[in-house]
Each structure stands twice: as C-alpha cells, then as structure tokens.
C-alpha cells in the first residue's frame, strides 16, 4: 500500500510537473504557392516557464492539400525523419541527451524550415495551419518531457499564382536602362481574369526612374498552368545596388512578392553567375565572375580576387580561376574568370558566391570591382537539367532533353513531367524513350510519364538519365518568359518529390555584336582578336572564300566547327566562354577569305554580325600572304578604311587609326614568327580619326605618347604602351566640328627660354575643320600633361585647317595654312602672345589643304595651294623667298629632304631642289613620275628610295635620284592606299601602308 501511494505520488508529481512545459510555433516567413515547392519557416520556442528541454519534435502538415518536399534544420539539429507518406517531419537535436547545448532549453527558439508542395485549389486559401494533433514534442530523451499543445501563430496563406522577377541585366551604369519582368504562372484550377501587377518596389542604394510599364497593365483569360508576363523599363540614375520586388493578383488569386537578384549600378561591376542552380550533393558548380568595364578607358591587368562562398552548403574548389589574369579590358567589354566547385551537404542546403576583380587604370591606380552576388545554388535530392535552357518564341517543332540526377538513397521508379504552359509549349510527346522505360500519360494535369519497366531499369542513387520530350511548336511571347518545367519523381518506396528547371521562351531581340574584331593574316594563317559585350555566351566565326558569307546563323541553333552555312563554313564556335582570340590555320596563301563574327547571347540569339559595319562589304578580309617577293609579311584587318599614314615606332610597334573610330597598335617582330599581333586592344575614340597619329617620347619614356583628333572635334593623348587614353583634351569638350589635321607638339625641353618662361608645359596644337560657319575655325593649344586648354586662336576669319601647322622653336611662331573662304590662307602667330594680330598674313594664295612644311636646310616654310602654286617664306624674317607653279592640283602635304622637296599632284610626283643662296627652284627629275592620285612620298634617306601609295591600290618604290619606278606591288583591289611609313631599323627595313578596304599591310622594303 505504501508503495502504491509512492507511485501515485510520483505520477502526480510528474503530471503536475508536465503541465509546466509549453512551447510555441510561429510562422517566421513563407507563403505556400500551389504546385510549387514552398519553404515555410517556423520559429519554434520553448517557453521560458518550461522545465524541460525540447530535444525532438514533429511537425504535421495537413494532408489536404499538401505534400512534403523536404526540411532544413538550424545548426545543431537534423531532420531525423521526413515522412512524406504521413506528411510529417521530425526534427531532432544532434547532441547527446543531457548535453548542455543540446536542443531548445527553456526560453530558447530556433528557425526550422519545412518545404511543402501544395496541390491546386480554385482560389487563394487563408489560415492554412499545421495539423495540431500530429505536431508535438517527442520525449526522445525519456525525461518525461510532456509538453502541452503548441501555441502561437503558425498559420500561412496558400496562393494560386507563382511569381518570378528578373532583370534584363544585373550590372549597368548610370543612364543605362534595364527591363524588369514579372512572370506569373496560374497554378490554380480556375481560369483567372484581370490579373494586374503592383508597381515594383525598388530597394537599395541605387536609384532608378520608371520609363514605361507595366506592359501589359493586366491580363485576362489566363488558363490553368498558363503564364503571363508584365514588364517595366527603368533607367538608372544613381550608382549602388538594388533589388526589384513585385507581385500580381486579382480578386481570386494572388502571388507572393517575388524579389529579383541584386542589380548593381557601377562603373566597374562584376557579376557572379553560378550554374546550375540545383545540384545533388557532391555535384559540380561552375562559377563565372564577369567584370564589365563601363568606363571610358581601357583597364589593364584584370585579376580575379578569391571568391566568397556563403551558405550552409559545403564547397570545395576544384579548378580555376581560368584565366588567372586578363591583360586588358576595353570600354564596354566584359570578360570572365571561371572556377569550378564541388558542393556537398543535405537537401535544402544552399550557397551563394560573390566575386570581384582588380584592374589598373592608365594612371596606375588600382580599381576593385563592385561585386554582384550569384543566385542561390541549392542541394536537392533529385535534380533535372533542361537542355536547351531557352527556346525561341514562335519556334517550330522543338525537343527538350531533361537530364535527371538521382542524389537520394532510393531508386527512382517513375517520373512525371508536368505539362508546362500549353500555349507556349504545345502538344508534348515523349520521344527517344530510354531503354527499359515506358512512356505514358501522367496522372497530374496530363503530363508525360516515364516508368521503369522493372527494378533493374530504375534510376539508381547516384545515376543520371536523360528523357526527351518533343513539342510541336513554341508559342509566341512579347517578352522573355521563364517557364518552370516541373517533374514529379516517384521513388521505389512510392514516396514522391518535386524538382524543376526553368526553360525561357525568348523573344528574338537585337543582340550586341562583338567589339573591335581584328584579324592578322600571316602565311597560311589568320589570327582573330575581339572583345565580348556583356550580353554574351559565345561567338560564331564564319569563313567564306572568294565572297562574303551570305547566310546568317539562326537563333537558337548551335553550329559546330565544320558546319556549312550558306557559302561559308563555321571555323569557330564556343559557349559559356569569354574567349577573345582564335587562330584559323591551314589557309591557302593568296586566297581572299572573308570572315564574319557573330556574338551569341545566353538565350542562343545571334547578333546581326554588323562588324565592322552593316553593309554589303561587312566582313574582315584576310589574304594569307605567301613567301614571294611581292607578298606582304603580314596584314591586319579592321574592315573599315584605314587611309592614314601609319605611325611607326621604329623597331617596336606601328600605330594606325581607321574609320572605325579606334586606334590600333601592332607589335613588330624581327624574327619568326613574323606577325603584327595586337600590342593592345584598340582604343576607342568618339569619332572617326583621319588625322595621322603624332607620337613623341617625352623625357626618355619607354613608350611614346600619341596625340590625335577625331571627326567629332575631340582631341586625345594616348599611352602608347597600353593604348589607354591619358586625356580627352579641353576637359572632354570638343574643340570644333571636325579635327582633320594632325596634331603638332611644341616640346618644352627643346624650346627657348622665352617659351619656357611663358609656359610650364608642352603645348599640343589642334586645328579645326568647321563647316557650318567656316569663319569660326580655330587653333587651340592644349597642355601636354593634362589636355587643359592653354589658349585658342579664333580670329573670326580663319577658314578650315586640314594640314599640319608648323611650330618654329627659334622664333616661337606658329605657321597656320588654311582654306580661304574667308580671310588669308597663311598666317603666322606669335605663340607667346596669341591674342595679338598675326605676325604675317598672306591672302595671295588660294586654299591650302596640305598644311605647312619646313625646309630645314634653307630654314623656310613651304606651302602649296590647291592649284599648284608653291611658295616659301623665310621662317626667321617671315618674308617671301620664292614662288613656283608645280602644274597640278595639290592636296597632299609637301615632303622635304635636305634642300629638296617632293610634290604629289593628282597626276604624279616630282622632286624639286632649292638653292638656299639664290632661292632658285629647279625640278630634279626630267619629268614628274606619272601616278594616279599618289600619296605624299616617304623617304628612305639611307638608300635613296621613295615609297608612295597611289589611288589604284599600288605601293611603289621610286629611285630618289631619277624618279624611276623600281618596284610595284598591288596592295588593294578596292580603292587607294595611304602614304606609307618606313621603318629603317637594321634588320627590318619595312614599309607600312593602309588601305581603303580596311587593312594595314607590311612589306619588306625590297618588295618586287
């Protein structure tokens, strides 16, 4: 009896004690979306008044209308049982019973995630809640931890619309636009009308203004499983980062608020992309860091910094980064650094990556890019990867391959591909059914099912299998529309999970071309370089012999190398690549090959191939040279007229500008391999450059500085070592309408004391060719170091200046020759007092398009007007010395050589000798050498030879003594060639000439 009383007392005490154990469950976040795996996060709290620790508990989900997909415990816990059949999840603390930090002690709480898969209803449902009878604390430690029913606000909402928000770009700069797209899928069982979006909420430090949208304002008649898209266009107005959150609804159904990935507005952003977004544990993820140079100058030594993975999943680096460094990144170009990682963990674990790079500016400063974090990479029990990931809006018959990876512990016995939007993905049917599997009609919304015929055929843990579904056609959309392709997976034990991948229906849209493609032709070989825009996945290069490629690639189609496309052959193709060079070898020397480059974006859309220009002559012409005496050593091709005289940095490099509005630098090699590979990626100018580059080395610098103006009136100084623009003169403002004349530099260290007292810097003179008001032309002196304007000579009667001016170091005078629609066409300015009237004005001459030349032997300034009247003036006294009619139209600059000078008229070339004592001028050759529209000559003073290009595309070598044509080679069959340059370096002796068909060719001076 006593013992019975003791037991009773103990039970009573135990019972009384149990009454003090309370716990609560509150919904921390989450909305259940019909037919979508939806994470619900619950905050579980052990009441402070409890006497016991919670070491294990079970959450019961109502069986109607939910399935359980999975669960994610907090640190120190595990999902010890996921009972899909009975819709319950048991979480258990990982420590041993009684260990102080095991479980939830009184007063503690933690977040537990349960992923549910709700089946469809006709409309939204509120107050969805846990199954109270099956949600309870488990006394796993046998401590009589009897807890009462939980309290708290654990209810959630079940909604019928799935939502997805994406932005057209993830990295941009101020004034750039982006499109925000909200895609909603009607997962309810009813057709929905009047679905309208709420205006996106922009959160973050970046600022945007709405340009247009939403488009459309609402959508009706949206059937079950159908998708609709709403889009807005925004313009970035301030730098920073931001996200866009959007949702849609009608009176029956709504979507959760979906948030876009982060968008960065920056001058130097680096987006990080991790693919695929879903892996089984142990799977491999490829991470690409994509820096974009939104600035105006080329960045160099672009180097990736170590990646920062964040999240509960464990990641292990496998390879990369590849490449480890990129030499240069042109403005508006993007490059990529690729690493691969192994991801391990439990289903539901996830990780994001954030990467950044450093780069050097022209001034030597180090820039660090602003990082853009990747999307989530999650670990799933089963993953499906769709290929292709994008299909073209309105496409015909299309097959999609779904590769299923089984990362679970159970074999997969059947799969059901739930039919996506029937309007977009029309009439699916199974095709190429794997051996051992049978295709049929699924039970859920008439999907396509694949069932293993027997246990041996089931998809075993760790294995993958590809299933293919054919669609009769793809519907039309007006904006890119991501559509979730869901797969219901049934394991051998009859439990199920849901997995999915996104296939985007893309609208054919303009895709930017590759930037600045250059080809270098050498014997049997063509070497290409280009830069990639940010909207990029790969490049396609076509080659045709004898004629330009006549067929463009089709959107969504990949063409392996060797594929015939019209009259052309695919010679290069890549994907998921930011490669920027390719060598096409095995070419036949002398054959005219026409190449065209196409950029392809992530959706498989191709650019128009409008590089170098949208025209019938749009191609890169490559003629591999042979090894004969008439063959060039190499030719570079930019595809647009390059008729300026190249500038040769003797023995080191050659610089050329073209109508492509960029300047190139090519290396010079003396021995094999002889080529003209890029010294740096071309430097973009704002306008076309037709002025010869003026290059000087200052203070023993290892690399020259290059001064040049463009046809939009901008003046530049470039670093010859890197191609970077050191400055755009006059504070970035144009000096006039057009700069056609080459720049002239007064190098201060060579000037006299008076100049050095007046100016603390070199002066760079740029003259204008204004045509709207021809009397408004000017000559501006810019500071050599900074490009700041020092003075402008704009008298109000100066006509166009298209030839070089002459700076006289002894007298500090500037000789300016111009056209003469107004005012005199020759004037001499006192540089020390530019505001004063000119020291000399000459109105007797007509237009002088060819500038002023200096005869050093006689210390005379030489000018010749368009009609062929040449005059010389004493530079020191500014008095006339002599006058001569050379008998022809002259537009090319005079070239002086000792006491002699050469004149190129439109019909030939003549050499004249000036007797400095008598100022008599005599023709040296018996007669002018007849040539059609020749350029100015380039003198080989050592060997007494002249090089000249003509209007028929010939490069000629003349004997300087007689004018006889000794050598001729046809450089171009399409138009003329430029004034040549000559490199007299011992062992080189090469001649450089530009062509109207967009090439720069290099010949040995002994060409035949």
Partner 1 sequence: MFIRTILRAVIVLTPAMLACSEPGRHLELVTASDVEVRPPEPLVTPPVLEVLPVAPVYQYAEPLPLPARHVVTVTLVPAGARRLRDVQRVNVDVTVDRGAVGQRRISAAFVSPQGLAWETQHATVDLAPGGIAVAHFSLPVASTFIEDQNLFGAWQVTTLDDGVETAAAGFEVTP
Place of tokens 């309810």: 188
Q: Does the protein bind partner 1 through residue 639 (CB under 8 A)?
A: yes
Nearer to partner 1, 357 or 544 (CB): 544
Nearer to partner 1, 610 or 789 (CB): 610
- E strand or H helix at 7: helix 2-18
Please select the residue that binds partner 1; options are 514, 521, 640, 805, rule is CB under 8 A.
Answer: 640
Give the residue among 948, 875, 854 at the shortest CA–CA distance from 910. Answer: 948
Cβ count near 569 (within 10 Å): 17
Q: Does the protein bind partner 1 through residue 589 (CB under 8 A)?
A: no
Are the C-beta atoms of residues 647 and 665 closer than 8 Å to each other? no
Q: Does the protein bind partner 1 through residue 997 (CB under 8 A)?
A: yes
Site string for partner 1, 232-251 (x = CB under 8 A): -x-x----------------
**DSSP β-ladder status, 156-159 and 32-33:** parallel
Please state, in angstroms and as integers, the Cα–Cα distance from residue 19 to each residue in 106, 650, 912, following that order: 14, 95, 119
Q: Does the protein bind partner 1 through residue 422 (CB under 8 A)?
A: yes
Please select the residue that binds partner 1; options are 228, 395, 597, 654, rule is CB under 8 A.
Answer: 228
Please select the residue that binds partner 1; options are 690, 722, 730, 855, rule is CB under 8 A.
Answer: 690
Give the residue among 616, 464, 480 at the shortest CA–CA distance from 535. Answer: 480
Whole-number minimum distance, CB 768 to partner 1, in Å? 11
Q: Does the protein bind partner 1 through residue 800 (CB under 8 A)?
A: yes
Interatomic CA distance for residues 351 and 983, integer angstroms: 58
Whole-number minimum distance, CB 821 to partner 1, in Å? 10
Nearer to partner 1, 323 or 846 (CB): 846
Secondary structure letter of residue 988 according to DSSP: T
Interatomic CA distance for residues 105 and 52, integer angstroms: 7
**DSSP β-ladder status, 350-354 and 515-522:** unpaired
And the tokens for 849?
A: 């398009």
Please name every residue paired with 222 in a beta bridge, in sequence order, or none if there are none.
192
Nearer to partner 1, 203 or 906 (CB): 906
Half-sphere exposure of 550 (CA within 13 A, CB side): 5
| Choices 8-16, 303-311, 615-623, 939-947; region in contact with partner 1 by CB under 8 A | 615-623
Interatomic CA distance for residues 870 and 853, integer angstroms: 11
Are the C-beta atoms of residues 527 and 677 closer than 8 Å to each other? yes
Whole-number minimum distance, CB 26 to partner 1, in Å? 29
Q: Does the protein bind partner 1 through residue 421 (CB under 8 A)?
A: yes
Give the residue among 730, 726, 784 at the shortest CA–CA distance from 759. Answer: 784
Whole-number minimum distance, CB 357 to partner 1, in Å? 27
Give the residue among 165, 388, 390, 359 at the shortest CA–CA distance from 261. Answer: 165
Site for partner 1 in 887-916 (CB under 8 A): 891-892
- Size of the residue set binding partner 1 (CB under 8 A): 70
Nearer to partner 1, 495 or 867 (CB): 867
Please state, in angstroms and as integers, the Cα–Cα distance from residue 265 to each residue in 206, 237, 274, 846, following that order: 6, 9, 20, 55
Q: Does the protein bind partner 1 through residue 616 (CB under 8 A)?
A: yes
Nearer to partner 1, 778 or 989 (CB): 778
Q: Does the protein bind partner 1 through residue 782 (CB under 8 A)?
A: no
Site for partner 1 in 963-982 (CB under 8 A): 974-976
Please select the residue that binds partner 1; options are 162, 448, 864, 996, rule is CB under 8 A.
Answer: 996
Please select the residue that binds partner 1; options are 55, 182, 222, 633, rule is CB under 8 A.
Answer: 222
Q: Does the protein bind partner 1 through residue 615 (CB under 8 A)?
A: yes
Sign of CA dihedral 781, 784, 787, 789: negative
**DSSP β-ladder status, 136-137 and 109-118:** unpaired
**DSSP β-ladder status, 840-842 and 366-368:** unpaired
Q: Exposed, middle or buried, 367 (CB in 10 Å: 0-12/13-18/19+)?
A: middle
Q: Does the protein bind partner 1 through residue 252 (CB under 8 A)?
A: no
Site for partner 1 in 834-853 (CB under 8 A): 849
Give the residue among 646, 653, 751 at the shortest CA–CA distance from 694. Answer: 646
Site string for partner 1, 734-773 (x = CB under 8 A): ---xx-x----------------------------x-xx-
Whole-number minimum distance, CB 577 to partner 1, in Å? 22
Whole-number minimum distance, CB 867 to partner 1, in Å? 12
Interatomic CA distance for residues 537 and 516, integer angstroms: 17
Q: Exposed, middle or buried, 720 (CB in 10 Å: 0-12/13-18/19+)?
A: buried
Nearer to partner 1, 243 or 423 (CB): 423
Please select the residue that binds partner 1; options are 607, 648, 728, 768, rule is CB under 8 A.
Answer: 607
Q: Does the protein bind partner 1 through residue 189 (CB under 8 A)?
A: yes
Are the C-beta atoms of residues 787 and 798 closer than 8 Å to each other? no
Q: Does the protein bind partner 1 through residue 805 (CB under 8 A)?
A: no
Whole-number minimum distance, CB 738 to partner 1, in Å? 5
And the tokens for 602?
A: 């992530």
| Choices 96-104, 257-265, 614-622, 999-1007; region in contact with partner 1 by CB under 8 A | 614-622
Give the residue among 92, 97, 47 at the shortest CA–CA distance from 71. Answer: 92
Q: Does the protein bind partner 1 through residue 617 (CB under 8 A)?
A: yes
Site for partner 1 in 455-514 (CB under 8 A): 478, 510-513
Please select the residue that binds partner 1; options are 144, 257, 423, 985, rule is CB under 8 A.
Answer: 423
Interatomic CA distance for residues 587 and 525, integer angstroms: 6
Q: Which residues are near partner 1 by CB under 8 A? A: 122, 177, 189-191, 211-212, 215-224, 226, 228, 233, 235, 421-423, 478, 510-513, 607-608, 610, 612-618, 639-641, 643, 659-661, 688, 690, 711, 737-738, 740, 769, 771-772, 774, 800, 802, 819, 849, 891-892, 933, 951, 974-976, 996-998
């Amino acid at each position: 009896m006593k013992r019975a009383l003791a037991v009773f007392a103990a039970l009573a005490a135990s019972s009384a004690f149990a009454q003090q154990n309370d716990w609560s469950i509150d919904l921390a976040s989450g909305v259940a979306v019909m037919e979508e795996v939806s994470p619900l996060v619950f905050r579980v709290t052990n009441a402070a008044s409890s006497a016991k620790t919670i070491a294990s508990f079970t959450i019961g989900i109502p069986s109607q209308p939910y399935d359980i997909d999975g669960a994610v415990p907090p640190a120190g816990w595990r999902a010890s049982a996921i009972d899909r059949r009975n819709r319950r999840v048991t979480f258990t603390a990982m420590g041993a019973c009684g260990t102080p930090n095991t479980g939830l002690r009184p007063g503690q709480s933690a977040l537990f995630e349960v992923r549910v898969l709700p089946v469809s209803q006709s409309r939204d449902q509120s107050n969805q809640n846990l199954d109270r009878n099956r949600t309870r604390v488990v006394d796993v430690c046998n401590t009589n931890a009897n807890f009462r029913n939980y309290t708290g606000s654990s209810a959630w909402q079940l909604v019928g619309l799935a939502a997805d928000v994406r932005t057209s770009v993830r990295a941009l700069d101020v004034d750039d636009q982006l499109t925000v797209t909200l895609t909603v899928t009607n997962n309810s069982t009813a057709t929905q009308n009047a679905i309208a979006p709420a205006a996106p909420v922009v959160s973050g430090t970046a600022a945007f203004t709405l340009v247009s949208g939403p488009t459309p304002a609402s959508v009706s008649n949206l059937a079950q499983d159908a998708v609709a898209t709403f889009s807005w266009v925004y313009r970035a107005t301030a730098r920073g980062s931001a996200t866009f959150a959007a949702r849609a609804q009608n009176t029956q159904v709504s979507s959760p608020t979906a948030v876009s990935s982060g968008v960065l507005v920056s001058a130097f952003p680096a987006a990080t992309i991790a693919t695929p977004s879903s892996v089984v544990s142990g799977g491999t993820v490829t991470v690409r860091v994509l820096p974009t140079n939104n600035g105006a100058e080329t960045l160099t030594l672009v180097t990736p910094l170590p990646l920062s993975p964040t999240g509960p999943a464990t990641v292990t680096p496998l390879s990369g980064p590849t490449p480890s460094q990129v030499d240069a990144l042109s403005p508006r170009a993007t490059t990529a650094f690729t690493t691969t990682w192994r991801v391990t963990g439990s289903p539901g674990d996830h990780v994001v990556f954030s990467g950044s790079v450093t780069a050097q500016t022209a001034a030597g400063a180090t820039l660090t890019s602003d990082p853009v974090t990747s999307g989530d990479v999650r670990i799933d029990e089963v993953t499906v990867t769709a290929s292709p990931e994008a299909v073209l809006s309105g496409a015909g018959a299309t097959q999609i391959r779904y590769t299923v990876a089984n990362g679970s512990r159970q074999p997969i016995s059947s799969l059901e591909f739930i039919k996506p939007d029937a309007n977009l993905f029309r009439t699916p049917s199974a095709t190429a059914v794997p051996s051992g599997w049978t295709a049929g009609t699924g039970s859920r919304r008439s999907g396509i099912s694949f069932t293993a015929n027997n246990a041996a055929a089931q998809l075993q843990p760790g294995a993958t299998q590809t299933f293919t579904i054919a669609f009769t056609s793809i519907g039309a959309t007006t904006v890119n529309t991501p559509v979730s392709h869901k797969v219901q997976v049934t394991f051998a034990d009859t439990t199920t999970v849901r997995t999915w991948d996104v296939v985007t229906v893309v609208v054919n849209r303009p895709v930017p071309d590759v930037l600045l493609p250059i080809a270098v032709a050498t014997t049997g070989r063509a070497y290409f370089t280009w830069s990639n825009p940010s909207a990029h996945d790969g490049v396609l290069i076509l080659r045709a012999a004898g004629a330009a490629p006549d067929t463009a690639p089709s959107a969504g189609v990949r063409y392996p190398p060797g594929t015939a496309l019209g009259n052309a052959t695919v010679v290069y193709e890549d994907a998921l690549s930011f490669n920027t060079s390719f060598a096409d070898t095995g070419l036949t020397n002398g054959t005219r090959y026409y190449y065209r480059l196409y950029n392809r974006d992530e959706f498989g859309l191709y650019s128009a191939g409008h590089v170098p220009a949208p025209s019938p002559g749009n191609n890169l012409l490559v003629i591999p040279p042979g090894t004969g005496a008439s063959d060039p050593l190499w030719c570079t091709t930019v595809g647009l007229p390059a008729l300026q005289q190249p500038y040769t940095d003797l023995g080191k490099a050659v610089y050329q500008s073209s109508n492509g509005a960029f300047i190139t630098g090519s290396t010079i090699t003396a021995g094999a391999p002889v080529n003209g590979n890029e010294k740096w990626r071309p430097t973009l100018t704002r306008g076309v450059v037709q002025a010869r580059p003026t290059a000087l080395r200052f203070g023993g610098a290892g690399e020259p500085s290059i001064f040049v103006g463009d046809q939009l009136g901008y003046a530049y100084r470039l670093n010859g070592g890197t191609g970077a623009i050191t400055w755009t003169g006059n504070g970035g403002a144009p000096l006039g309408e057009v700069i056609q004349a080459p720049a002239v530099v007064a190098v201060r260290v060579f000037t006299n004391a008076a100049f050095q007292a007046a100016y603390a810097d070199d002066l760079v003179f740029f003259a204008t060719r204004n045509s709207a008001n021809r009397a408004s032309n000017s000559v501006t002196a810019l500071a050599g170091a900074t490009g700041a304007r020092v003075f402008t000579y704009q008298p109000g009667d100066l006509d166009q200046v298209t030839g070089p001016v002459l700076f006289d170091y002894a007298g500090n005078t500037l000789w300016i020759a111009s056209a003469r629609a107004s005012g005199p066409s020759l004037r001499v300015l006192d540089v020390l007092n530019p505001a004063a009237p000119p020291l000399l004005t000459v109105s007797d001459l007509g237009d002088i398009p060819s500038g002023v030349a200096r005869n050093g032997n006689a210390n005379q300034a030489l000018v010749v007007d368009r009609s062929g009247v040449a005059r010389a003036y004493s530079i020191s006294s500014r008095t006339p010395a002599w006058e001569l009619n050379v008998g022809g139209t002259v537009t090319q600059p005079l070239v002086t050589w000792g006491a002699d000078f050469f004149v190129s008229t439109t019909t030939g070339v003549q050499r004249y000798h000036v007797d400095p004592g008598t100022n008599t001028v005599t023709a040296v050759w018996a007669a002018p050498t007849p040539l059609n529209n020749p350029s100015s000559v380039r003198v080989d003073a050592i060997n007494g030879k002249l090089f000249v290009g003509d209007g028929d595309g010939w490069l000629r070598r003349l004997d300087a003594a007689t004018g006889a044509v000794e050598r001729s080679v046809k450089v171009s069959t399409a138009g003329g060639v430029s004034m040549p340059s000559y490199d007299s370096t011992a062992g080189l002796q090469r001649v450089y000439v530009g062509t109207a068909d967009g090439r720069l060719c290099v010949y040995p001076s002994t060409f035949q």
